[in-house]
């Protein structure tokens, strides 16, 4: 069993209150392929796990396994995609979210960028 399989078995969809935000993040064909592979933590310094499963992009805090972001992905005919609505975990005891939508979108885009740019081991 691969590390990715281990992580996929442990991680759950978002549970708890959600803060929905309109999102217009575009993903290239290559981005979609990379996100389907996922970003899986390799050591204690890796803080996020990110995976695109079908049409849902999720990001979890690796130490807690808590799903912080859950985005609905609209796939285009050419294989690219757009994240339309982003749900952010709105449970202060589990995740201290940004005070503005713009701030939270910036955080989310940073996490996704990390997943896309990470080299496969």
Q: What is the DSSP letter of 79?
A: S
> Which residues fall within 8 angstroms of residue 66, CB to CB, at 6 or more apart?
60, 89, 94, 95
Share of the chain above pLDDT 90, in %: 77
Query: What's this model's pTM, rounded to 2 decimal places?
Result: 0.91
H/E element, 69: strand 67-75
Phi and psi at residue 6, to the nearest 5°: -60, -45
pLDDT of residue 119: 60
With beta carbons less than 8 A apart as the criterion, state whether 85 and 20 touch: yes
Give the total number of structural domains in the chain. 1
With beta carbons less than 8 A apart as the criterion, state whether 102 and 40 touch: no
Evaluate if residue 37 carries a pLDDT over 60. Answer: yes
Q: What is the mean pLDDT of the chain?
A: 91
Evaluate if residue 112 carries a pLDDT over 70. Answer: yes
Highest mean pLDDT among 3-17, 34-48, 68-82: 68-82
Parent domain of 110: 3-117
pLDDT of residue 14: 95
pLDDT of residue 2: 63
Phi and psi at residue 33, to the nearest 5°: -60, -45
The residue with greater pLDDT, 8 or 76, is: 76
């Amino acid at each position: 069993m691969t590390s990715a399989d281990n992580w996929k078995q442990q991680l759950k969809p978002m549970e708890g209150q959600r803060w929905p935000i309109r999102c217009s993040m575009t993903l290239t064909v290559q981005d979609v392929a990379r996100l389907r592979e996922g970003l899986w933590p390799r050591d204690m310094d890796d803080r996020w796990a990110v995976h695109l499963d079908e049409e849902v992009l999720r990001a979890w805090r690796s130490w807690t396994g808590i799903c912080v972001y859950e985005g609905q992905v609209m796939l285009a005919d050419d294989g690219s995609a757009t994240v339309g609505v982003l749900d952010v975990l709105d449970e202060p005891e589990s995740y201290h979210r940004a005070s503005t939508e713009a701030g939270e979108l910036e955080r989310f885009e940073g996490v996704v960028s990390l997943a896309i740019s990470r080299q496969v081991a």
